[in-house]
Amino acid sequence: MTAELNGGGPHAVHLVGAYYLDALDDREAEAVRNHLDHCAPCRTVADEMVETIAAMAVLFEPDDIARAGEADADEDQEDPPPD
């Protein structure tokens, strides 16, 4: 069950970020959930990660989203000329 967690050490810390970004498959997510259930250090890291993600979300305003959309549109038109 936890075999895939052992690749990066005995803890799931390296997978917690991907877990919260929903970037793991069901089996990996389940393994991280199980690990967090019984591993206090990883839970602490996970809690801090969630707080950090929440704090970052507060930094962004609706204007930033509009600007990010414009930046994406610019990128499409901005092909560097060949030398």
DSSP code string of 14-80: HHHHHHHTT-S-HHHHHHHHHHHHH-HHHHHHHHHHHHHHHHHHHH--HHHHHHHHHHHHHHHH-PP
* CB closer to Zn ion, 41 vs 69: 41
Among 16, 24, 31, 39, binds Zn ion (CB under 5 A): 39
Among 4, 11, 17, 18, binds Zn ion (CB under 5 A): 11
Task: Please report where in the chains the tokens 């930033």 appear, as a residue.
Answer: 64
* CB closer to Zn ion, 47 vs 70: 47
Number of residues that bind Zn ion (CB under 5 A): 3
DSSP state of 81: P
Residue 43 sits in the site that holds Zn ion (CB under 5 A): no
* CB closer to Zn ion, 37 vs 79: 37
Residues that bind Zn ion (CB under 5 A): 11, 39, 42
